């Protein structure tokens, strides 16, 4: 009876949803943009009318001009590409190590006893905090930044791999064992695919961290990339290109996340079901 009542209600809401689709959806979408537009207008007004009195607070229109100029001249493209290159290498290294070590500890008790304590000790250390120490071993060039990014990405991927493997249905593993499938094959064909959604979630967390840590390490020890450029422009008293770089950074982060979601949907369509 309850079920019968529910169905028509759902249908009616669906019908009204379809009827209102175009204007409602547009209004809903615009709502988000309107808030951004209002905030930008407030920014512009606060700088133009001197509500915020600071040489570090340019009108947003100036920032937009700097943004266009920066991308048109290719300067921001080069900087973004340089940051993304460092990030991608660090991210790939961090994810690969995280998955490999997570899988090893997940399936091997001895590895768990040997490695888990050291991982737990190192985990709370924020990667940027060890930059000065790492400089002594790695110098100040790309290797340093890549290792810092890899370290930061390692932990979320490692922990998610571990919990993903722990959560794999024991029946799956036992079925594999019944069929006398080798341990390596069980890992690559049964355990890892089953743990993949959790690993992917860890990788998605890591990609956000990777961008932030790349930029921080460029700010601390950089001669190139968006992080260095932001600090350089800050010291050169040129806030417009500085904010243009920050906006480019935020857009890059947003696009990376969207790209990850799109890839997730394509390769792991069962996520979220």
Partner 1 sequence: MRQSISKWVFGLALGAMLGAIPASAAEKLRVSIIPINDVTPLFSAIKQGYFAEEGLEIDTAPSAGGAVGIPGLVAGSYDIVYGNVVSMLLAAQQGIDIRVIAPGTKVDKVEDDASAMVVRSDSGIATGKDLEGKNVGVNTRNNVIWLYARAWIKASGGDPDKVTYREVPHPQLEDALRQKQIDAGFMVIPYVALATAKPEFKAIAHPYSTVQLGVDVGQYLTTSKFLTERPETAAKFLRALRRGIEWYNANRGTPPLLEIVSGFTKIDVELLKKVNMSASPLKVDPPQVETTMKLMLDNKLLKAPIDVKPLIYDKAL
Nearer to partner 1, 211 or 216 (CB): 216
Report the C-alpha gap between 87 and 91 in whole angstroms: 6
DSSP state of 128: G
Residue 18, interface with partner 1 (CB under 8 A)?
no
Residue 126, interface with partner 1 (CB under 8 A)?
no
Nearer to partner 1, 106 or 241 (CB): 241
Measured N-to-C along each axis, helices 239-267 and 60-73 cross at an angle, to the nearest 10 degrees, of 70
Decide if 209 contacts 95 (C-beta within 8 A). Answer: no
Element housing 119 (H / E): helix 109-122
Please tell me whether residue 72 adopts helix, strand or coil conformation. Answer: helix
Residue 233, interface with partner 1 (CB under 8 A)?
yes
Task: Return the range that interacts with partner 1 (CB under 8 A); candidates 129-137, 160-168, 179-187, 256-264.
Answer: 129-137
Residue 236, interface with partner 1 (CB under 8 A)?
yes
Cα–chain center distance at 159: 16
Choose which of 127, 206, 220, 226 interacts with partner 1 (CB under 8 A).
220
Residue 132, interface with partner 1 (CB under 8 A)?
yes
Residue 93, interface with partner 1 (CB under 8 A)?
yes
Choose which of 33, 179, 235, 270 interacts with partner 1 (CB under 8 A).
235
Minimal distance in Å, beta carbon 149 to partner 1? Answer: 11
Choose which of 15, 54, 108, 175 interacts with partner 1 (CB under 8 A).
54
Task: Return the range that interacts with partner 1 (CB under 8 A); candidates 105-113, 220-228, 248-256, 260-268.
Answer: 220-228
Nearer to partner 1, 138 or 212 (CB): 138
Minimal distance in Å, beta carbon 79 to partner 1? Answer: 13
155, 130, 115: which is closest to 217 by C-alpha?
130
Residue 5, interface with partner 1 (CB under 8 A)?
no
Residue 149, interface with partner 1 (CB under 8 A)?
no
Measured N-to-C along each axis, helices 192-221 and 75-107 cross at an angle, to the nearest 10 degrees, of 140
153, 151, 149, 158: which is closest to 98 by C-alpha?
158
Choose which of 140, 194, 205, 268 interacts with partner 1 (CB under 8 A).
140
Decide if 127 contacts 188 (C-beta within 8 A). Answer: no
Residue 92, interface with partner 1 (CB under 8 A)?
yes
| Inter-CA distances, 12 with 25, 106, 119, 261, Å | 18, 49, 54, 31
Element housing 195 (H / E): helix 192-221
Residue 186 neighbours by CB under 8 Å, 6+ apart: 173, 176, 177
Residues that bind partner 1 (CB under 8 A): 53-56, 89, 92-93, 132, 135-143, 146-147, 150, 219-223, 228, 231-238
């Amino acid at each position: 009876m309850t079920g019968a009542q529910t169905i028509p209600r759902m249908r009616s809401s669906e019908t009204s949803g379809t009827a209102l689709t175009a204007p409602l959806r547009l209004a809903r979408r615009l709502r988000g943009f309107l808030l951004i537009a209002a905030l930008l207008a407030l920014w512009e007004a606060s700088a133009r009318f001197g509500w915020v009195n600071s040489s570090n607070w340019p009108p947003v229109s100036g920032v937009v001009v700097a943004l266009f100029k920066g991308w048109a001249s290719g300067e921001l493209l080069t900087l973004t590409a340089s940051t993304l290159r460092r990030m991608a290498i660090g991210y790939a290294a961090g994810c690969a190590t995280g998955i490999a070590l997570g899988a090893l500890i997940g399936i091997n008790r001895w590895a768990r006893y040997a490695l888990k304590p050291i991982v737990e000790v190192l985990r709370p250390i924020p990667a940027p905090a060890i930059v000065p120490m790492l400089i002594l071993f790695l110098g100040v060039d790309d290797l340093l930044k890549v290792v810092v990014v890899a370290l930061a990405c390692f932990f979320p991927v490692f922990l998610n791999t571990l919990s993903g493997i722990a959560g794999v249905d024991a029946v799956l593993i036992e079925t594999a064992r019944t069929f006398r499938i080798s341990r390596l094959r069980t890992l690559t064909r049964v355990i890892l695919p089953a743990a993949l959604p959790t690993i992917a979630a860890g990788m998605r967390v890591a990609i956000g961290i990777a961008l932030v840590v790349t930029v921080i390490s460029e700010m601390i020890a950089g001669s190139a990339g968006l992080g260095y450029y932001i600090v350089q422009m800050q010291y050169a008293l040129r806030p417009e290109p500085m904010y243009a770089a920050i906006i480019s950074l935020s857009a890059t982060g947003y696009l990376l996340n969207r790209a990850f979601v799109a890839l997730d949907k394509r390769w792991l369509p069962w996520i979220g079901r």
